[in-house]
Every structure is written in structure tokens, then in C-alpha cells.
Amino acid sequence: MRMDALSRLVRLSLARERKGAFFSAFGVAMGVGALVFFLGLGLGVGRVIREKIFPTDARLVDVVPSAVSLGSLLGGGKLDAATVERLAALPGVEATYRKMNVRVPAVTRYDGVFFGARLRMGMEVLAVGVEPGLVKDDVKLGEFKDPSEGQPIPALVSTRLLELYNKTFAPARKLPQLSANMIVGFGFPVEFNRSYVAATTGGPTGAAQTQVVGASDRAMLAGITIPLETAVRINRQAGVDAETFTGVTLVASDPSRVPAIVDAVKGMGLEIDDQERRMAENTGAAVALVTSALALLSILICILAAVNIAHALSASVRARAKEIGVMQAVGASRADVRGIVLAEAAVVGLFGGAAGTALALLMAFGVNRLAVSQLPNFPFKPDSFFSFPWPVVVGGVLLGLVAALAGAYFPARRAAATDPARTLAG
């Protein structure tokens, strides 16, 4: 059967059964629309978790000394220079970056103008020293190295800490909100080996000026990140451990090498600091579980739509039995009859799938607009709660087509099996 003849027959059949076709397409649209909507929501929330709340790099492995292990009892399990060399020599390790906490307490007392507002505040400060290579792409001012005498200490702040400040601390204290570029060059005093709440060491107290040189995802969340040489110098001046490192970040040559590197690190009596990675995985798993449950409900709606199409086409085939018999009598083959029924279902399915997908996109747009105007400006609030990659959009339309064809399979076979002689004889 020629395509133009097939399209004309399908158009006439759908026009005659437009009420049934409409409700069949409506059922497909509801199922597809719900599925695309919930998949987009799950992908969007998952993207926020991965990129903003718990940003992780699949190639990084954070090594920390084991608190209690057989290795540490036998002299291993600590991060000294020799251990760092062994870590750097592991197969698959491309680079190593050492870290050392400032092992004395520190405070800052700020009294002055803070970006146009008056601020007077004192607080405890945590600090960690890292090698410049780990954060070189985030340094926007000067060089990230131990300063000479009288120069401010370069410091990086966490992008997540900046987000928390902007969405919680700043509104509560009526302070200005800041961007990563605005804080570059801002300076504040820090006194090392001094604390409001904790005991200090017997070493001297050191006062220094600190200057923010950028914001980084790899910076310490609840504190400041300074050059490793500076942390070593401060610890040495305070008379505390300045030889062993708090952690070492390993950069794998490829993410596929990470499991072997982790096993080798644990074999050395060391541990992997994967707390944030596990939190990201657990949160992502919870989002995926909820999304899967809602997607399953949407697929069930699609199955019900397919059943509805099967019933509608079965009734249509029975009502058109004589018409089908006449077509077969004048030369239509069984394949032609089967093709007509499947083509009708395909048109309904494509229309329903496209309408459902468009409805999901429209609803997502409406939810985003409503969230912007009604929801408070909470930390890590995304510009969009949804993500619709093209496979999801195309898959939604194709799912409508597949559901309709599945529902039309048996009615099409039944129509093709019609005996024209018996049907026309009544």
C-alpha cells in the first residue's frame, strides 16, 4: 500500500474515531509527561548535589593517616616525607599534593568597614596548608606561596562557605552578599596560637594579616586554606609537629585507576578520606530511589494507556469488520490491514508522547518560575531544579510511540486475520 493511501485511510479513521483517539492520546500523554517530568527533576537535583553541594573530582584520592591501625603500631601509617614518596610512586598516580593543618588554634578580630557595612566580630579560625599546585587555577591575586616578612598571608576560602554566608549569615546580620570576585584582595587579621575557647601551646602568639586571593571548591569548608610552607612555618614556630602531614591528595592518571590506588593506600596502613564522596553518593542514591519510584508509577500509567489503546482499537476493529472485509475483497493484503491499524496507533502514540513531553517541559518551566518567586533564597538554590538532556526528551516521544504500538499489536493481528467471505456474508 502506498504511503499517501495509507495516510489518507489513517486520517479518515482517526477523524471518525476522534473521541476514542483523543482519550487514548491523553492517557499516553499523562504517562509520558509524568515520566519526563520526574526524570528531569531527579537529574536536575542530582546535578546540584554533584556540582554545588558535594563537588567531587573522580580522579582525586584524599589520603589521611589511620587513627588506629597495625601499620601505625609498627611505625607505618603516618604521613611523613618518606610515605609521600611511596604514595607518589604508586602505579597510576599522576601527582601528589601534601596538606598540613595549622596545629595551633587561631582567632580573628575584625573591627571596621566590611564592603560598605560596619562589622565588629571575633571568631575562631581553622586553617590548613596545601601545596600551590592543588589550587593554582583558583588563585586570582598574586602567588600562592609563603609570603616574605611583613606581607599578608594568601588565603583561599571555600566556594560553599561563601554560598552559606550569602544565603544564611549575611541576611541575618544585614550584611552585603558577596561574589567570589568581590572578596579577592580583602584582608583581615589572624592571631595564631590564640583561642577564645581552647587551650594554646606554650609557644609564642603570632599575629599576621591575611589576604583572600580567591575561592575554591578544594579549599577547606569551615576555615581558610593557606600555602603549605606557611602552615609548616607556623607549626614550627609554635613548637608543634611540623614534619608529618595531615593528608595527601593523589591525582590518578585516569578514574579507572582509582580503585587500585585505594587498595594500595590501604595496604600501606593509611585511610581514604571519602566522607564527602560517600555523602554525595548517599544523597544521590536517595534522590535516585525517589525518582525511580515516581518513574515506575509513570511507566504504569503508560502501560494502562497501552491497555486502553488495545481496548479502543479492538472495539474499532470489531465495528469496522465489514469495512476491513471489503478492503480485503478488493485486494488489500493482511499486511496492509495490519499496517493501517498500527499506523493509527503510531499517530496516537506520537501525538501523545510529544504532547506529554511538551507538557512536562512547560510544567518544569512553571515550577522554576514559581520557585524563584516563592521559595526563600536558601543555600545552593539552583537556577533550575530540572535537567532535560536530549535523550530524555526524544525518549519521551518514542515511549509514547512504543506504548501505542504495544497496545495495538493484538488488535492489528485480529484485524489482519479477518475472513472477508465470512464477514461479508454476515
Q: Which of 227, 243, 268 is the last residue of a domain?
A: 268
Task: State how far the Cα of 32 lies from the Cα of 417, in Å rounded to an integer.
Answer: 32
**Residue 63 domain-assigned (yes or no):** no
Q: What is the largest CA-CA distance in the chain?
A: 111
> Do residues 163 and 239 share a domain?
yes
Q: Which of 98, 112, 105 is nearest to 127 (CA)?
A: 105
Q: Judge if 288 and 254 occupy the same domain.
A: no
Do residues 87 and 227 share a domain? Answer: yes
pLDDT digits (tens, 9 = 90+) for 48-100: 887 788 777 888 999 998 865 444 444 456 889 999 999 999 999 999 999 99
114 is written with which cell numbers?
566590611
User: How far is Cα 23 from Cα 307, in angstroms, rounded to an integer?
Assistant: 12
Tell me, yes or no, whether 252 and 200 share the same domain: yes
Domain edge (last residue) among 268, 296, 315 = 268
Judge whether 273 lies within some domain: no
Q: How far is it, in rounded angstroms, from Cα 39 to Cα 42? A: 5
Shared domain for 147 and 28, answered yes or no, is: no
- The reply to whether 35 falls in a domain is yes
Our count of domains for the chain comes to 2
Q: Please check whether residue 116 lies inside any domain of the structure.
A: yes
* Residues 13-45: tens digit of each pLDDT: 777 777 878 888 899 999 999 999 999 999 999
Instruction: State whether 301 and 414 are in the same domain.
Output: yes
Q: Domain ends where: 227, 246, 268?
A: 268
Claim to verify: residue 20 and residue 162 sit in the same structural domain = no
72 lies in some domain? no
Q: By the 8 A CB rule, do 38 and 291 touch?
A: yes
SS3 338: helix
Instruction: Identify the pLDDT of residue 424.
Output: 61
89 and 129 in a single domain? The answer is yes
Domain that holds residue 233: 78-268
Instruction: State CA 14 to chain mean position distance.
Output: 44
Instruction: Identify whether the C-beta of residue 144 lies closer than 8 Å to the C-beta of residue 213.
Output: yes
Contacts of 248 by beta carbon, 8 Å cutoff, 6+ apart: 62, 63, 79, 84, 87, 96, 97, 98, 99
Q: Would residue 341 count as lying in a domain?
A: yes
pLDDT for 398: 93
Same domain, 345 and 239: no
Same domain, yes or no: 340 and 399: yes
